[in-house]
Chain A
């Protein structure tokens, strides 16, 4: 197995762990953490392809990851604001109890 394949498997595993957490946990904040883990798995892919790819001097992978980190920060801010406002409304962050469309 080449190093690139090893890194890709690692990031796929990280992605799958995040996905499993996001799909199975009840708490909204943990779901958000799972999504962040998935993003990290994807970022690791980009860096691995940049490092082992045919022309690393293009820096595409690195720049993409920088943007992706920025997007993750924005996502966390908005997501947590949503969770806070849901908590204020329902007094819970349990996603299974937040299921009515009518407030």
Chain B
């Protein structure tokens, strides 16, 4: 890892930690966006230009804005008076630490990861499109179906029914 990448990685992690620990929900959402931008920059550093831009376009333009709207609609803009952590927070942190410990132990002990890296592979958009339309056409259709179902489902769930049913 080169120095700029390492800096971006540290900033991403810092943004993620703040996003999970701030009191004000809007600040959390903004830091979440910063973390997403960091991940997108990491994608660019890895040579996956298309994915990086798609990440910014979809996460910034859609997911983060949705989250912000939800915060405003649920009156979450004022910091809560009660504690922000749940009662079982020690268990939660412990589980996260254990998960990280197991994952990192696996990564560090793995022999398959000692391969020397090759040159940065090219990511031609042409080839990506062709593969999406041939080899991965079924998953693409399924994703389309899923998104349509999610769209309709979200509208139905969030629809205001005046009768209270």
Chain A residues within CB distance 8 Å of chain B: 1-10, 12-21, 23-27, 29-30, 32-34, 36-37, 40, 43-44, 47-48, 50-52, 54, 56-57, 59, 62-63, 65-67, 69-78, 80-85, 87-88, 93-96
List which B21-43 residues lie within 8 A (CB) of chain A.
Answer: 21, 25, 28-29, 32, 35-36, 39, 42-43
Report 26 cross-chain contacts, Cβ distance below 8 Å, ordered by A residue. A2-B116, A10-B13, A13-B100, A14-B13, A15-B99, A16-B97, A21-B21, A23-B86, A23-B93, A24-B86, A25-B84, A29-B74, A37-B20, A44-B39, A44-B42, A51-B47, A52-B118, A57-B121, A59-B123, A65-B51, A69-B51, A72-B63, A77-B150, A81-B153, A84-B70, A96-B87
In angstroms, Cα B58 to Cα A76, docked, is 11
**When the two chains form their complex, are residues A81 and B47 in contact, meaning their CB atoms are under 8 A apart?**
no
- Which of A2, A4, A37, A67 interacts with B32 by CB under 8 Å? A37
CB distance from A43 to the nearest CB of B (A): 7
On chain B, the residues within 8 Å of A40 by CB distance are 35-36, 39
Q: Is the interface of A mostly helix, strand, loop or mixed?
A: helix
On chain A, the residues within 8 Å of B71 by CB distance are 29
**When the two chains form their complex, are residues B154 and A77 in contact, meaning their CB atoms are under 8 A apart?**
yes
CB distance from B58 to the nearest CB of A (A): 5
- Which of B32, B84, B104, B154 interacts with A12 by CB under 8 Å? B104
Q: Is the interface of B mostly helix, strand, loop or mixed?
A: helix
**When the two chains form their complex, are residues B157 and A29 in contact, meaning their CB atoms are under 8 A apart?**
no
Besides A16-B100, A29-B70, 16 other A-B contacts (C-beta < 8 A) = A2-B116, A9-B107, A12-B107, A25-B85, A44-B43, A52-B117, A66-B51, A69-B51, A70-B143, A76-B66, A77-B150, A80-B70, A83-B70, A84-B158, A85-B157, A95-B86
**When the two chains form their complex, are residues B85 and A26 in contact, meaning their CB atoms are under 8 A apart?**
yes
B7 beta carbon closer than 8 Å to chain A? no
